[in-house]
Structure 1
Amino acid sequence: MPLPGPRGTGLRHRLAELRGPDVLPKALDARALAALAANPGCRRRAVLDGAGVDKSVLASALGSPAAFGQSQFALTRGNAFEARVKADGGAELLRLVHTRLDPGAEPPHGAAVPDLTADGPAGRTARTALALREAAGAPGTWTLLDHPMLALDVAGSPAFLEPDAVVVHPDGSWTVVEIKSFPMLDGSADPAKVGAAARQAAVYVLALEDVAGHLDSPPRVRHRVLLVCPKDFSNLATASAVDVRKQRAVTARQLARLTRIEEIADALPEGTCFAPGLPADELTTAVESVPAAYAPECLAACELAFHCRDRSRAAGAVTALGRSVRAELGALSTVEDVLSAARGESGDPDDPAVAALRRAARLRAEALSGQTLGGQVVAACR
């Protein structure tokens, strides 16, 4: 999904300048896109992801390296499990899709597995769209697309996405398949990990819907995806159908709220560059020129979270205490503003947040006074 016309070419050139000369872009995957959609107010993440900046490398250059991500062992184990699930033309994977999602269809005795190789992400996206179109025009058969390439417009910039698999059912409908290496114990998995997988799959569903929308007879994109995991502590595969309608709706709404990357880039000072080889002070200035919207949830989703947390704490921003606390405090944006309002030194007494803070301060003072008096009585009795 290349950006059309000279305007798109100009934006790509501008984003390349932000990324730095000779710095290859880092692809925006579905996991990063789901995290971006969860915090649409963060312009910093939007422009860095849009420019293809490797935030892990950037965080290390800033002196605040990211402390999360999969180990090499976990990646190797995950790749081995995925290869096992897709062996023999995806026979086991198709059996799970049939059993969990489409038991009324003809059992998959073999399936078409089209070749999706092409030059570059744009070429692979076009090849995937062609394969989906051909599969939709051949009802009655199963088709397995192994690591297709999809595209989704994100704030005016294309993001290329690669799901583990997409299955075309005999009725022509499409299903997203997510293969994860975390186990399903007694038929259930860690809810937090399942939730993250659902948000990631919802991004793929949105991208598939975009492909379907360009066909003359749009096929149905199923909103129940298949999550495939190891069974218990074995290397055998099991699966569960996950309804991602809620995650899809939330992600679509949040992506629509994202400020266009072009607007953010145009507002930056001339010469701004995020190349990791720059001096630390120059790099810090460049990063700080883009507003961030830090919240504690960022620690589990963004490589720059530790840098942004330090800056947020240094500025005394109440966002460092969490989005729910920030929402309760209304116009009070710093910790100093909150303490001043609680002491009665500032703030509108009719403001519900200010009134609640002053009442809490009075209750705290009374409680501490009672503790002091109780201590004095005990000391006198001794």
Structure 2
Amino acid sequence: MNASLGSGPDPTPPTARADAGVPVRQRLAELRGPTRPPHPLDARALAALAANPGCERRTLLDGAGVDKAALAAALGSPAPYGQSQFAFMRGNAFEARVKSDGGTELLRLLGVADPEAALTPDVSAAGPEGRTARTALALREATTAKAWTLLDHPMLALEVAGTPAYLEPDAVVVHPDGHWTVVEIKSFPMLDGSADPAKVGAAARQAAVYVLALERVAARVPGAEVGHHVLLVCPKDFSNLPTGSVVDVRKQLSVTRRQLARMRRVEELAAALPGGTSFDPSGSTEELLASVEAVGAAYAPECLAACELAFHCRGRAREAGAVEALGRSVRGELGGLSTVAEVLDAAHGRAGDPADPAVAALRRAAALRAEALAARGGG
């Protein structure tokens, strides 16, 4: 259930170099704090990055392995982001229920006639690189064996913005015909055959990251094919009985692939920072604030559900009167107007080109509002 990577080696590439000639591994270690281990990337973080690839702040902080929750707390803007301990325990208990008896119930959800005959190879190894290699070998052997195979918590690798991320899906099932299916196990209920669309969407975006990473492995395995339909397993109604639903993630996969490819490389962002920049939460608030503001952000209200720094970024956006704080759709409608003050001036005729469609629409809306208020007052 937990897609986190756990502890592991520094994910930054050892051979890349910053402009000043300092190895990127060393530079990023300096950014997060020399004594602080890198905070690993996971599928949820990558899905959030794909949803907002223009946010260089998150790209750099995630790529450098900065603990954004600790950084947000040090800045005075902690965010209640992430699962509660109760939800975490409930999720682990449900996953254990789904995978009990060698995953026979999970395999039945995929229509396996004799789930007890399925292979369940051990994919454990030392470190994330070892587990990634062991997973790739197990997938190759399962595809060659042409037998139902269940891989419990395999590990996959995916390079994003020049930084490798190690990903751990709940399970991957290999079909006898060489088809690979990602299994995503969630503890939210499926009532009368359907679940909360927002939660299903989040699960689909996370699963798309796993599919993308699996495609890299399948490209080196003859006869392998990664399915773009994943199996979502949830509790049925109000019970603890698992039920499955096939989710098409082709749209999420396409968006994730395109958005992740657009991101700037971490070493480029790090090289552009002024000397002395540090995101070590043990530093002073003034120094941390200057460091964070040295990297551009692309705040949107959706960040509140996906990023630990969202409350800090929202506060700064509101202080600046940025229209981004009102949402991406509003920002898109306002054209070149970037602040709330500019919008108000344009609406009341104090600024702006009347030929600009955004300005014309604002003035029309302001006139209609004035007429409505006048009519209400006159009545």
* TM-score (norm: length of structure 1): 0.92
* Equivalent in 118, 131, 140 of residue 124 of structure 1: 131
* Equivalent in 274, 283, 300 of residue 278 of structure 1: 283
**8 Å Cα contact 1:274-1:283 kept in structure 2:** yes
* 1:46 alignment partner AA: T
Match of 2:35 in 1: 22
* 2:322 alignment partner AA: A
Are 1:39 and 2:52 counterparts? yes
Are 1:250 and 2:255 counterparts? yes
Q: Distance in 1 between matches of 2:111 and 2:24?
A: 44
* Equivalent in 216, 240, 263 of residue 268 of structure 2: 263
* 2:170 alignment partner AA: D
**8 Å Cα contact 1:178-1:228 kept in structure 2:** yes
Measure how far apart 1:110 and its partner are.
2.2
What are the residue-to-residue correspondences of 1:1-382 with 2, within 5 Å? 6-7=15-16, 10-98=23-111, 107-139=114-146, 141-215=147-221, 217-374=222-379
* 1:47 alignment partner AA: L
Q: Distance in 2 between matches of 1:214 and 1:368?
A: 68
* 2:111 alignment partner AA: H
**8 Å Cα contact 1:89-1:110 kept in structure 2:** no
* Cα deviation code 1:303-332 (max 9, x no counterpart): 111110000000000000000000000000
User: Which segments of structure 1 move beyond 6 Å, counting only runs of 4 or more?
Assistant: 1-5
Match of 2:5 in 1: none
* 1:204 alignment partner AA: Y
Measure how far apart 1:5 and its partner are.
6.5
Aligned length in residues: 366
* 2:364 alignment partner AA: R
Q: Distance in 1 between matches of 2:97 and 2:369?
A: 60
Q: Distance in 1 between matches of 2:253 and 2:171?
A: 18
* 1:84 alignment partner AA: R
Let me know the Cα RMSD of the aligned residues: 1.7
Rg (Cα) greater in structure = 1
Q: Distance in 2 between matches of 1:114 and 1:14?
A: 39
Measure how far apart 1:78 and its partner are.
0.9
Q: Distance in 2 between matches of 1:86 and 1:58?
A: 37
Aligned-partner SS, 1:176:
strand
CA distance change for structure 1 residues 128 and 189 in 2, over 3 Å: closer, same or farther?
same
Aligned-partner SS, 1:370:
helix
* Identity %, equivalent residues: 72
CA distance change for structure 1 residues 75 and 233 in 2, over 3 Å: closer, same or farther?
same
Q: Distance in 2 between matches of 1:3 and 1:74?
A: 32
Match of 1:377 in 2: none
Aligned-partner SS, 1:137:
helix
Q: Distance in 1 between matches of 2:296 and 2:223?
A: 40
* TM-score (norm: length of structure 2): 0.93
Q: Distance in 2 between matches of 1:336 and 1:4?
A: 44
Match of 2:6 in 1: none
* 1:293 alignment partner AA: A
Q: Distance in 2 between matches of 1:13 and 1:92?
A: 47
Match of 1:380 in 2: none
* Cα deviation code 1:76-129 (max 9, x no counterpart): 111111111111111111111226xxxxxx543322222212221111111111
Match of 2:3 in 1: none
Aligned-partner SS, 1:238:
strand
5+ long unaligned stretches in structure 1: 100-105, 375-382
Q: Distance in 2 between matches of 1:194 and 1:4?
A: 34
**8 Å Cα contact 2:41-2:165 kept in structure 1:** yes
Moved more, 298-307 or 357-366: 357-366
Measure how far apart 1:371 and its partner are.
2.5
Q: Distance in 2 between matches of 1:222 and 1:64?
A: 41
Measure how far apart 1:4 and its partner are.
6.5
Q: Distance in 2 between matches of 1:110 and 1:55?
A: 45
Measure how far apart 1:12 and its partner are.
2.3
Measure how far apart 1:22 and its partner are.
1.3
Q: Distance in 1 between matches of 2:223 and 2:332?
A: 42
**8 Å Cα contact 2:16-2:267 kept in structure 1:** no
Q: Distance in 2 between matches of 1:45 and 1:221?
A: 29
* Cα deviation code 1:3-37 (max 9, x no counterpart): 76722792222222211111111111111110110
